[in-house]
C-alpha cells in the first residue's frame, strides 16, 4: 500500500509536510488566508459572515496586550499566531479535540514550533507567556460565546470563567468578509514585526 499523502500544497506554492513541518515552508500569507476562511464554533454563530480564526486571533492579541501591557512585542506576535496551526488543521472544537486524543496535540505542537521559529520566536513559548495567551483566549471565547454563539452569560461563565469587565470594555466582535479579515491580520502582523525590528 502506498503511504497516504501527509502534505498540503499552499497557495504560495509551498508544500507543507504535516508530519515534519519546517519553518522554510511557512508563509504568513498562507496563514492569514487560511485562518480568514476557518470558522470558529464550527460556523454555529450569528451574522452574515462566519467568525473566523483570523478575527479571533486579532482579538486575542488585543486582549493579551491589555492583560500584559509591559510584555515585549514578540509575545504579542505570539498571541496573534497562537492558533496558527489551524490554517492547516482547521479549528476543532474542544469536545472533538478530546475525542481525537493526543495525536491532535502532537500535530499542533509540531506546527506551532515551525511557525514560531519561522517568525523569530522560540519553538516553545515560556510557560508564563502561554498562560497569559490562554487567559486572553478564554476571555475571547467568553465574548464570542455570549455575543454570537448562543451561550447565556451563566453558561459562558461556567465554561470559560467570568472575565474582568475592564478587559473587555470597548471591545466588540467584528464579522466581515474573509478578504477584509485577511488584510487586517496581515497588517497587524506587519506592524508587530516592524516594532520588533
What is the reported pLDDT for 98?
76
Specify whether the CB–CB gap between 35 and 53 falls below 8 A. yes
Statement: residue 55 has pLDDT above 90: yes
Using pLDDT thresholds of 50, 70 and 90, give the confidence band for residue 59.
very high
What is the reported pLDDT for 80?
98
What is d(CA 52, CA 34) in angstroms, rounded to the nearest whole number?
10
Q: Count the neighbouring beta carbons within 10 Å of the beta carbon of residue 158.
A: 11
Statement: residue 64 has pLDDT above 80: yes
Burial of 171 from C-beta contacts in 10 A (0-12 / 13-18 / 19+)? middle
Specify whether the CB–CB gap between 64 and 79 falls below 8 A. yes
Statement: residue 35 has pLDDT above 90: yes
Nearest to 173 by CA among 19, 60, 18, 86: 60
What is the reported pLDDT for 90?
86
What is d(CA 73, CA 180) in angstroms, rounded to the nearest whole number?
24
For residues 4-29, one letter each, b for 16 or more C-beta atoms within 10 angstroms of the residue's C-beta and e for the rest, the string is: eeeebebeeebebeeeebeeebbbbe
Q: What is the average per-residue pLDDT within 18-38?
A: 95
What is the reported pLDDT for 124?
97
What is d(CA 45, CA 80) in angstroms, rounded to the nearest whole number?
22
Percent of the chain surpassing pLDDT 70: 100
Using pLDDT thresholds of 50, 70 and 90, give the confidence band for residue 94.
confident
Lowest mean pLDDT among 55-64, 93-102, 132-141, 178-187: 93-102
- Name the average pLDDT for the chain: 94
> For 95-147, how does the pLDDT look when each residue is reduced to its tens digit (9 = 90+)?
777 777 777 888 899 999 999 999 999 999 999 999 999 999 999 999 999 99
Domains annotated for the chain, with CATH where assigned, are 22-196 (1.10.3210.10)
52 forms bridges with which residues in the sheet? 39
pTM of the complete model: 0.94
Statement: residue 26 has pLDDT above 80: yes
What is d(CA 195, CA 177) in angstroms, rounded to the nearest whole number?
28
Give whole-number Cα distances, 33 to 45, 83, 125, in Å.
20, 13, 24
Amino acid at each position: 500500500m502506498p503511504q497516504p499523502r501527509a502534505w498540503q500544497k499552499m497557495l504560495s506554492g509551498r508544500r507543507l509536510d504535516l508530519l515534519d513541518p519546517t519553518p522554510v515552508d511557512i508563509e504568513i500569507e498562507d496563514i492569514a488566508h487560511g485562518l480568514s476562511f476557518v470558522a470558529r464554533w464550527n460556523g454555529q454563530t450569528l451574522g452574515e459572515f462566519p467568525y473566523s480564526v483570523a478575527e479571533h486571533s486579532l482579538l486575542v492579541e488585543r486582549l493579551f496586550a491589555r492583560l500584559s501591557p509591559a510584555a515585549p512585542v514578540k509575545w504579542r506576535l505570539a498571541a496573534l499566531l497562537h492558533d496558527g496551526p489551524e490554517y492547516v488543521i482547521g479549528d476543532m472544537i474542544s469536545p472533538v479535540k478530546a475525542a481525537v486524543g493526543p495525536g491532535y496535540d502532537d500535530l499542533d505542537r509540531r506546527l506551532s514550533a515551525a511557525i514560531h521559529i519561522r517568525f523569530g520566536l522560540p519553538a516553545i513559548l515560556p510557560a508564563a507567556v502561554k498562560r497569559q495567551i490562554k487567559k486572553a483566549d478564554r476571555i475571547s471565547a467568553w465574548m464570542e460565546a455570549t455575543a454570537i454563539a448562543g451561550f447565556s452569560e451563566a453558561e459562558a461563565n461556567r465554561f470559560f470563567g467570568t472575565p474582568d469587565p475592564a478587559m473587555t470594555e470597548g471591545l466588540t466582535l467584528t464579522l466581515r468578509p474573509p478578504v477584509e479579515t485577511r488584510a487586517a491580520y496581515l497588517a497587524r502582523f506587519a506592524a508587530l514585526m516592524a516594532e520588533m525590528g
